Structures are given as C-alpha cells and as structure tokens.
Structure 1
Amino acid sequence: MSVIALVLNILWLALGGAVAALGWFVAAFFMAISIIGLPWARAAFDNGVYTLWPFGTRTIDRDLLYRGDIGTGPLGFLGNIIWFVLAGWWLALGHLVAAFFLGITIIGLPFAWAHVKLAGFALWPIGRTLASSDFRRRRAYY
C-alpha cells in the first residue's frame, strides 16, 4: 500500500469511516445470529471491511480466487437480487449522495471516489471479495 493510500485511510477513519464500518459490522452480527439474514452476513462484513479501509483496496470476483464457490453461481445471483431489492439500492444511493456532497470540494474528491466504489460494492456484493489494488498486476506475473 502506498503512503498516500495510508494517509487517506487514516483521514477516512478519523472523519467518519470508522463509524460507518462499525454500522456494517453490527449489521453483519445481527444477520449472522438470525436465521433469515445468515446468507448475507458475509456480504455485510465485507462491506464493513471495505468501508474501514477503502483506499488501496478493490473488489474482485471471488471466482478469480475460488472455483466452485456457492456465492459465484446461481444462488449467489439470487442472493444479490434479494440484497438489491431489500437493501442494496438504498445503501448505494446513500453512498452516491455522500459522494455528491464530498465531490463539491477539491479536498473531498478522494473521499467522494471512495464512496462511489463503496456504492458499487453495496449494490451487488455477493460473489465478490476484497483484494489489494495491485492484485491484477501481481497476479499477471505468476
């Protein structure tokens, strides 16, 4: 991770990222202890991790890492449809509204971009995972 990404992550945490991530972790906890929300608990936890540390991190399809994962097949697609209808669209809309207001200032532009990335992940999280920003570059050498 670059020094700039580290500084941006620290500023992100200090200016509200830690509180937002805590909200995702609490949601993941309650999803995990309920029977109905259990299939979406991992998606909520991954959203919390991504919200905690968005700079220097990107989302990738899990089938790049794990073949035959249940979240990358038809059940994952169905889970994403349910997620989208019940939570994904308004969570993504919240991130986009925050990105709009942060994007008004030059200082807020990196944080606005982080909210746009978070909106995409909050919209359709199942079957995706987090990786370092240079994941594809490092993987190309193997």
Structure 2
Amino acid sequence: MKTILNVIWLLFGGIWLALGYFLAGVVCCLLIVTIPFGIASFRIAGYALWPFGRTVVDRGGRTYLMSTLGNIIWLLVAGIWIAIGHVLTAIAQAMTIIGIPLAIANLKMIPISLTPLGKVIVPSDQAYSVYGRQYGPRLVR
C-alpha cells in the first residue's frame, strides 16, 4: 500500500515538491554560510519524493545548540512560508477522496520543513526499534 501511495504522491505533486527543495538546496550550497541549510533541503527533497513508510526523528547529540540556532534562523527566513505552503496544498488535496492521504502526507512534512536541522528520516517500522531507546519521546510523526 505504501508503494501505491508513494507513486500517486509522486505523480500528483511530489516530484515538483522534491525539485523545489532540491533547487533550494543548490542555492543554499552556493553560499558557504548556508551549506547546512542546503544539506537539510536535500534531506527534505528525498523525503518529499517518497514520504509514505518513513518518519522523522530527532538526531540529538552534541550539536543540539547549533541545530537550535540554525532552526531559529530557518524558521524566520523560510520555515513559516514553507509550512503555510504545505497547509494550503494539503487543503487543496483534501478536497478529493484520493487526495486525503496525500494531504496527510503534506501535513506530515510540516515539522521537518519548520525545523529541519538535527533531524533524521528513517523507515517508520524502524523508528522506535532503532531510535526509540536513544531518543524516546522526541519521535516526530
């Protein structure tokens, strides 16, 4: 079922969303200072290509302070606008029955588009088994 939903997602907007995130990543990597944002954009682009069956977890660790500072900058510069775009797209997708799962996937992308630094995208069935012991309640769905 995940594969069918991913193919439908890809055909009805996922490819364009991924290309947008990929283009943002290229632009961010052109400037030396914004390379971490570019890497995060590439990570989100991969997630935007195949979102069903994957989830986002916090990476944690020693870089928590730097991730938080970077996420604040991202949130103010781009995160809010990207999240608004995801909400508006989800509303449009939810107007049809086949679009409801796609709208849910679009809403599922909001947390990583708001604060992408310090996150890891993992398969949903391994999220708790691999990361649960270490990261516990910080699991983002």
TM-score normalised over the length of structure 2: 0.87
Partner Cα distance (1:137, 1:121) in 2: 18
1:40 is the counterpart of 2:31: no
Indicate whether 1:54 and 2:51 are aligned. yes
Pairing of 1:49-88 with structure 2 (within 5 A): 49-63=46-60, 67-68=61-62, 70=63, 73-88=64-79
In the alignment, what sits opposite 1:106? 97
Supply the AA of the counterpart residue of 2:58.
D
Q: 2:10 is matched with which residue?
A: 13
CA offset at residue 138 of structure 1?
Answer: 3.5
Q: Which runs of 4+ in 1 moved over 6 A?
A: none
Is the aligned partner of 1:92 residue 2:83? yes
Alignment RMSD, CA only?
A: 1.6
Secondary structure, counterpart of 1:126 in structure 2: coil
Q: Deviations over 1:118-140 (max 9, x none)?
A: 12210111111100011235336
Pairwise CA distance, 1:38:
1.3
SS in 2 for 1:129: strand
- Distance in 1 (CA, whole Å) between partners of 2:92 and 2:23 is 26
